[in-house]
A and B are shown apart, each in its own frame.
Chain A
Amino acid sequence: MELLLFNAFNGLIQGVFYALMALGLALILSLNSVINMAHGGFLVIGAYLAYTLTPYLGFWGALIAGPLLAGAIGLVVERVVIRPVYKRVDPIYSLLLTFGLALIIEDMTRTIWGPQGLPLEVPDVINSPVSDVYFFITGYRLFVIGITAAAAIGLYLLLRYTLLGIRIRAGTRDLETTAALGVNIYQLRALNFGLGCIFAGLAGVLASGVLGLTPPMGNSLIMPSFVAIIIGGVGSLFGAVCGGLIIGLAAGITTTYYPAASEAVIYLMMLIVLVVRPRGLFGEEGLFE
């Protein structure tokens, strides 16, 4: 029973990272119509920049600076290479473009910071176990869950109540009409892309406190995030979060009973969802069909 709890909790933490990744991916997917294969790259950028800045800013400063820098780099990348391909109707180009970026970022990370794993030091204040029995529930893990919940609620408030959020939602519905109403959609999509990258960066910093830093960490987190979106339903941010948590939990629970299947199980779940409910748990009917 304790083993099950242990693995389920580990899975939940993993699921939190999937959910954060999936949120950013889903934002970019719905407004920019781009599957951002480089999303794992932005995660790695956020994580490694936070690692480098920790000696100067401390953990708390790096926790804020890392994601923001990932977002800023996202803005630049969007402006320089992604904007030119919006006008191409075939999605193959944006897919290949971001795919190339993913390879470049992973390789550059390896060159700059080295191929071996690095640890991200977490302050002792939040790193001690909160209970002797459930040693695996460290303060840091609760902190990760808290920050993620705060970020998700923040995103909800942003989309619901601010002008930028309303424009993003409008653009997701109908980009042409939004443009016709006088919104600068190029700027809008750039900001949205940056916003998505901030979420990737945040996932990176938080994940490196648990898993440590390695150059391929982003590219190994991106596939489950796709699955999270497919299970949760394309077009639904809430679905992306739920999808991420569900597959994380499922993988954790499977680890208890049949460790070898812990990765495969999330893809099997995806197949089942695709058969039983093709639009995903919270997806809109008819989207992309």
Chain B
Amino acid sequence: MTRLAGIAVLWIALIALPWWLPLIGGYTALGSKVLIYAIATMGLNLVLGFTGGLSFGQAAYFGLGAYGAGMTLKYLAPSTPLALLIGTLAGGLAATLLGPLVMRRRGIYFAMITIAIGQLFYFVMVRWNEVTGGEDGLAGFARQDIHLGPLVIPIASSGSAFYYLVLACFTVAVALLWMILQSPLGHTFVAIRENRRRVEFLGIRVERYVWAAFAIAGFITAFAGALNALLFNFTSPQDLHWILSGNFVIMIVLGGMRSFFGPLIGVIIFVVAQDYLSSVTGNWMTFIGMIFVLIVLLFPRGVLGIFNRRAEAL
């Protein structure tokens, strides 16, 4: 019951965000960015926190989603839903195809291969100049209003309208992830994390489940990436760099990787801190680095882990 109440309060706060965020010095696009990163990290956490696969190259699928959406708008058709669809498919299918290469690995080796694979896409986007804009990034596209029959959602001009689109997408993604985790599929993921060998002995093909988790996470992260390209009407190779992959992972650990909403908390803290630090100091990278070090040394369970040790049990 308290859980439902908490979720209700969270969503009321999110719906009211365009009103209260500017009052405390924020801006609506920051809210959109937080929700987009929350979608990405909660998707990634399906692999990282719930299946126990250390995916450290998730930005690749985020970036593919972003480029997929941007290139659709720029070269194919001025349609927001189509851009989201193609972006999601681009990143998700890449993760699905590459899944078999990583699914057998464990621990550090899983991490190393996912990082290195991610760099492939980074260099493709940097060097495929004439189509992707190279180092400068892909610009020259803009999100388009969504037409639902006679109804027009003016996301092109209104930041708030786009925020509500993002919020709707966030709600769908959260519901989907929740349903997956409550299903036998989700329980198998957690069982693999807890004791991979035992699950194997039960006759379950662990590798296929790791693949499934990796693929689902890929689709969800790519979806977030597509939204991110629409938010800024821009995307750059930084959106698939391994630094962003590392940031995703630290956001999850910061919030608490064993809990469902942990990544959201981590994203809020990290994105706000980054936004603030980069506005007050040129050395913000050092501060972000110190956040990494301090979290690992002092708060390995994350914020939710400090307050709620039961979060471990989920």
Give A residues with C-beta under 8 Å from B. Answer: 29, 33, 35, 37, 81, 84-85, 88, 90-93, 95-97, 99-104, 106-108, 111, 223, 226-227, 229-230, 234, 260-261, 263-264, 267-268, 270-271, 274-275, 278, 287-289
Contacts and interface: CB of A to CB of B under 8 A. Distances in A.
Contact of A104 (B109, B249, B290): B290
Contacts of A287: 109
A73 B119 CA distance: 29
A72 to B, nearest CB: 20
Interface in B142-179: none
B112 interface: yes
Contact count band on B: 35 or more
Contacts of A81: 293, 297
B120 A101 contact: no
B101 A91 contact: no
A278 B207 CA distance: 15
A93 B293 CA distance: 9
A35 B111 contact: yes
Interface in B95-128: 98, 101, 104-113, 115-117, 119-120, 123-124, 126-128
Contact of B104 (A260, A267, A278): A278
A33 B107 CA distance: 10
B112 to A, nearest CB: 6
B120 A100 contact: no
B123 A35 contact: no
Given A100-B291, A226-B115, A91 B108 contact: yes
A92 B242 contact: no
Contacts of A102: 289
B209 interface: no
Contacts of B111: 35, 91-92, 95
B295 A96 contact: yes
A234 B291 CA distance: 30
A162 B119 CA distance: 38
Given A104-B289, A288-B107, A230 B113 contact: yes
Contacts of B292: 96-97, 99-101, 103
Contacts of B297: 81, 84-85, 97
Contacts, number: 127
A271 B288 contact: no
Interface in B215-267: 242-243, 246, 249-250, 253
Contacts of A101: 289, 292-293
A104 B290 CA distance: 7
Contacts of B13: none
Given A96-B246, A107-B286, 19 more contacts: A35-B111, A84-B297, A92-B48, A96-B295, A100-B290, A100-B292, A106-B285, A226-B112, A226-B116, A229-B112, A234-B109, A264-B123, A264-B124, A270-B116, A271-B101, A271-B117, A288-B106, A288-B107, A289-B105
B115 A223 contact: yes
Contact of B296 (A29, A100, A107, A270): A100
6 contacts: A90-B54, A92-B111, A92-B249, A97-B297, A274-B113, A275-B101
Contacts of A95: 54, 56, 108, 111, 249
A47 to B, nearest CB: 19
B119 A107 contact: no
- CB-based closest 10 A-B pairs: A100-B292, A103-B289, A288-B109, A104-B289, A267-B120, A107-B285, A263-B123, A100-B289, A260-B127, A107-B286
A227 B104 CA distance: 18
Nearest to B102: A274
B133 interface: no
Contacts of B113: 230, 274
Contact of B293 (A33, A97, A108, A260): A97
B137 interface: no
B283 interface: yes
B300 interface: yes
Contacts of B300: 88, 93
A288 B285 CA distance: 32
Nearest to B300: A93
A265 B57 CA distance: 18
Contacts of B112: 35, 226, 229-230, 234
Given A227-B116, A234-B109, A100 B293 contact: yes
